Every structure is written in structure tokens, then in C-alpha cells.
Amino acid sequence: MTSDCLSQRLKSLGFELGFAQIGITPAVTPTGFHRLLQWIDNGHSAEMKWVERRLDAYRHPDGVMQGTRSVIMAAMNYNDGAMPAGGGRIARYAWGSADYHDVLKPRLQKLAELLRTEVPTARTRVVIDTAPLLERDFARLAGIGWFGKNTMLISRAIGSWFFLGAVLTDVELGYDKPVEQDYCGSCTRCLDACPTDAFPEPGVLDARRCISYLTIEHRREPIPLDLRNGIGGWLFGCDICQDVCPWNRFAPDDTLPEFQHLPSMNPVDCRELLTLSAEQFEIRFKDSPLSRPGRAGLLRNAAIVLGNAKDSSAEQALISALDDTETLIRGAAAWALGQIGSRKAIAAVRTHLNVESDETVLQEIDVALQSHLS
């Protein structure tokens, strides 16, 4: 079988497996590697030190699998057409009943199996955003899309609501042409819509100000005070820069059942979330992306969402959270009560001042009381 025929068979199988686009590119050092170096040098990677620790591996796919000659990139749509609502918002990719790693991996393995069937000596490795591979760069090289000003990969056919997965192989295949043109033109909607000004310039994301980073990866520390109001109703992740992108008007809405939104995820009741014990949190979110921030991180986010909403119906849940075992949750609850600013909320914060011993929480209490006075 010729390399071009094998590539076509891989693409046909990929479409049968539910992928919206398949592209194949040779293994090279992507131009994005140099942008990655600059991004880290500028401090835009925040606390994601694992990127820096594995930096040299990002230079070439050989850093993931020695001898890689081809990279098969597969895009899977996760948009089901549902409309977001209310506070306690979850990024669209996590609305479903399954973690995307668990959905994509067996399908990508079937592509790898086909390769090994046709070329018995073939070596393969499946990658889904955990190995040091610049997936978006290789997806561009494989003809799937271009980089938008919001740094997302955008496809003319399916917008940007899609997951990426890769199969690395030492087999030489037939390759697709890269996307060289930028189809964003003069549009800056994504940059203008970001409430925390996370884009210092088009095509550059400062993770330190990104709502997705703050609510997911920045999970052990309080969220900076000057960014909390910008988080608005986002509990986990953020879709703002994709929601406003004109190309997503063309996004298909025929995603797999595993990615179709659950009513409990659109939106989440933050008041109820604050009542979950560690055991209840584990049971509810053990198979969900929402487990990534951990209980302390996610409940901290819930308190901030409630504080931004200034909803007096959340008072009792926040007052109860002042006694949580996690300092991160207690501090966020105190801040949120200060944002609500009712007599009951402020009285509860003042009362807790007499029993709190953690310095970080005491600082949050001080901010809450000062906020009330101003």
C-alpha cells in the first residue's frame, strides 16, 4: 500500500470513529517552539512549571517518541449547540458525562492499530495533551486550522470547539498542506471581550490573567483580588473568547453523546457546591474534568462566583463555608460575603474574625470588612 493510500485509509477510519477532521504532517520542529520559548521568557506561563521542565522535549516529536516521522492529528467536535446560562458556568468542553481523554484515546488507538496492521513493523504512540507535543502547531501543519488572535486553533469548517489528539509513528505517510493564511482579518472580538485583559497582544495569552488558568490550574492559592470581579460567573474554565468568535457560527452541533451537555453542568449551583464534603466531592467529580482544581480550588471558585453575583440567597452557604477545613475556601467565602455586604453577611465575617487563626484568611476578612466600609 502506498503512503498516500494508507493516509486515506487512516482518514476514512477517523471519520467513522467520529472525528471531524484528520490531517497528517511530517515530524519537524514546529515554528511554535520559538514562540513557546518567548512565552516562557516573558513570564506568561505563570506557575505551569511542567512546561519549562520538559521544554527540550517540545522541540521535536522525537522528544515524545524517538524516531517519529509522521504526526497524525485528529480533531473531534464537542459543541452540541446548547446555550450557556446563568452563573456557575462551566467551559463547554466539560459539559458532558465523560472526560475527553477517555473518549479520544481508544479511538486514536484504533488508528494506531490500523497502521500496525498495514505496516507490522510500525511504532506508534497516542498523545492527548499530556505529552510535550505542540498539538496546535502540528494541527496547523496538518491543514486543520490557523491560530486565532485568542491563540486557539480555528478551522474554517468547524470553528474552534474541538479537541485535538495525535498519533505519532515512524512510518512515512502522505502529508497534507499546512494552513498558511490567517482568516481572522481585522477582527478583534476575542481580544476586546476578555474581561481580565489576558491578551497583551494578538496571538499572545498571559496565563496569569486568564480565567481558565485561574479557575483550573491556579488551584492552591487565592485568586488575585484585582482579577476576581472579571471572573464573573465562571466556575471552571472560560469560553468568552470563543463565544464571540464569528467562525464559531459555523461550528457543527453533532457531537458524541459523551460530550452532550448535562443539565447539572449548565450551570452548576454554586450554593449547593459549597455544601459538598471531601467524600461527596470525590464521588460527584471523580470522572469529570472538574476534579482537576480539587475540592478547595473549585469551591473557592464557587464562592467568588457567588460574591460577584451579590446574591443574598447565597449568604447561608457562604457563612457555613467560613468554617470549612480548607483555608482557601474560608478566605474566598469571607471575600464573597464582603461583596454581598448585607448586615447578616458582614456580621458573620466579623464574628469569624474572633476565631480565625490563618493569616491568609485574616487578610481576606480584612478586605471584606474594608470593602463594606467603602
Q: Give the pLDDT confidence of 165-221 residue by residue, as tens digits.
A: 999 999 999 999 999 999 999 999 999 999 999 999 999 999 999 999 999 999 999
* R_g over Cα of the chain: 23
Which residues, in sequence order, are CB contacts of 338 under 8 Å at separation 6+?
307, 345, 346, 349, 367, 368, 369, 370, 371, 372
Whether residue 264 has pLDDT greater than 90: no
Domain ranges of the chain: 3-82+92-169, 269-374
Per the document, the length of the chain is 374
Three-state secondary structure of 111-160: HHHHHHHHCCCCCEEEECCCCCCCHHHHHHHCCCCEECCCCCEEECCCEC
Which pLDDT score is estimated for 92? 95
Question: pLDDT tens across 270-322, in order?
Answer: 999 999 999 999 999 988 899 999 999 999 999 999 999 998 999 999 999 99
CA-wise closest residue to 191 among 241, 227, 233, 231: 241
Cell of 361: 484568611
User: Catalytic positions, please?
Assistant: 129
Q: What is the mean pLDDT of the chain?
A: 95
Whether residue 353 has pLDDT greater than 90: yes
Question: pLDDT tens across 120-157, in order?
Answer: 999 999 999 989 999 999 999 999 999 999 999 999 99
Which residues, in sequence order, are CB contacts of 224 under 8 Å at separation 6+?
214
Q: Across residues 12-24, what is the average pLDDT? A: 98
Which pLDDT score is estimated for 280? 97
* pLDDT band, residue 344 (cuts 50/70/90): very high
Whether residue 259 has pLDDT greater than 80: yes
Q: Which helix (H) or strand (E) holds 236?
A: strand 234-236
Cell of 69: 516521522
Which pLDDT score is estimated for 374? 60
Whether residue 1 has pLDDT greater than 80: no
Which residues, in sequence order, are CB contacts of 176 under 8 Å at separation 6+?
23, 24, 25, 142, 143
Superfamily of domain 269-374: Leucine-rich Repeat Variant (1.25.10.10)
Return the minimum-mean-pLDDT range out of 215-224, 239-248, 262-271: 262-271
User: Please, what CATH class does the domain formed by 3-82+92-169 belong to?
Assistant: alpha beta
Residues 222, 299 contacting (CB under 8 angstroms) = no
HSE on the CB side for 151, CA within 13 Å? 19
* pLDDT band, residue 371 (cuts 50/70/90): confident
Question: pLDDT tens across 50-106, in order?
Answer: 999 999 999 999 999 999 999 999 999 999 998 877 889 999 999 999 899 999 999
- Cα–Cα distances in Å, from 48 out to 90, 123, 231, 235? 21, 31, 20, 20
